[in-house]
Structure 1
Amino acid sequence: MNTRIQIRQMKNEDIGMVFQTLEHHNIGKPMDYIKRCWEENKSGERITLVALYDQSFTGWLHLLSQSNYPYFADKGIPEINNLDVIPSQRRQGIGNALMDAIEQIAFDKYGIVGIGVGLYYDYGNAQRLYAKRGYIPDGRGMFYEGRQVEPGSFVRVGHDLALYLTKDRTI
């Protein structure tokens, strides 16, 4: 384990640091979104973990207790959401450290966890990471804008086209 990486739950005082760091590295997340994440942490709807590398913010990851993906919502499967690691700190084990920590939380409480991943090249690293970590497709095919893609239909390839995967604690 890399002792330079610290993973902890988000605090109120992290809001500005998260916004500024992500903005500086062109991973812009609106301030309203970051504040909403914090509010959802307080209400228990979301758990947000932040990663510090040498005491500097370098990434974050969320666990949604109630997924927006219908199958996960119906089955009570929490969803890992929005993994961001600043580009200059990638390949240091930060993403895996965040995933280890959030999976442990999910497995302790639910025994299973789900995640959605985009299907075009920008998501290539995430696709490989999730496969290496033992995530498997949930068997329901692709979803576009929250709806299952039917055979013969046309969809726009972008951030709204995803495949959903699951992993349970036995893997």
Structure 2
Amino acid sequence: METNPSQTAIRPLQDSDPPVIEAAFAGIGWSKPAEQYERYLDEQRADRRRVFVAEVEREFAGYVTLNWHPDYPPFREAEVPEIQDLNVLPPFRERGLGAALVRAAEDAARERSAVVGIGVGLGSDYGSAQRLYVRLGYVPDGCGVAYSDRIVVPGERVVVDDDLVLHFTKRLAAEPAPAGRRGA
């Protein structure tokens, strides 16, 4: 079920958000301390990260970040910004909010890059995100899996946990020129 766009807002992270986000996730049993979002605010002010918050009827529903300087070496070396930390609260899932948040991050990435990256965990908890990224046009980056941002070499043993990730990229189409300006 899609969310009515008139009831949904996607906006930048604000100073008042960290305690609201912490409380929302605590309400579902997840530990996401306000300090994480205060760090995101600092990084947003320093132009190292952009953070987008989704609200439905003015209630916090989820967020995503865009890291301009990711730790994953293939993205860092190629200056590919990485979409990170997509989270939508369970009551707001299956409404198109995850896709809307990813598109907001893509729009921001387009300002500086023709390509954007994203990583997704390999465990079943990430199944919805895996399918979403493929639907949105992301393809594996071809480097194999990474553990804690380090590419895993053949024969190496790793734990399947939240740090085992497959990275994807997407080529971003240029934004269409405003009406009357095409071909100018």
The TM-score normalised by the length of structure 1 is 0.95
Q: Percent identity?
A: 37
Corresponding residue of 2:64: 61
Hey, what's the Cα distance between the residues in 2 that align with 1:28 and 1:113? Answer: 28
Question: Between Structure 1 and Structure 2, which shows a larger proportion of helix residues?
Answer: 1
The TM-score normalised by the length of structure 2 is 0.89
For residue 142 of structure 1, report the CA deviation from its aligned partner: 0.6
List per-residue Cα deviations over 1:61-118 (Å, max 9, x = no partner). 0000000101100000000000011001101111111111111111122121101111
Hey, what's the Cα distance between the residues in 1 that align with 2:153 and 2:126? Answer: 22
Secondary structure of the residue that 2:71 maps to in structure 1? coil
For residue 60 of structure 1, report the CA deviation from its aligned partner: 0.4
Once the two structures are superposed, the pairs formed by residues 11-160 of structure 1 within 5 Å of their partners are 11-160=14-163
CA RMSD of aligned residues (A): 1.3
List per-residue Cα deviations over 1:2-52 (Å, max 9, x = no partner). 221100011111121111112212232122211111111111111000000
Secondary structure of the residue that 2:29 maps to in structure 1? coil
Q: Which runs of 4+ in 1 moved over 4 A?
A: none
Name the count of aligned residue pairs: 171
The gaps in structure 1 that reach 5 residues or longer are none
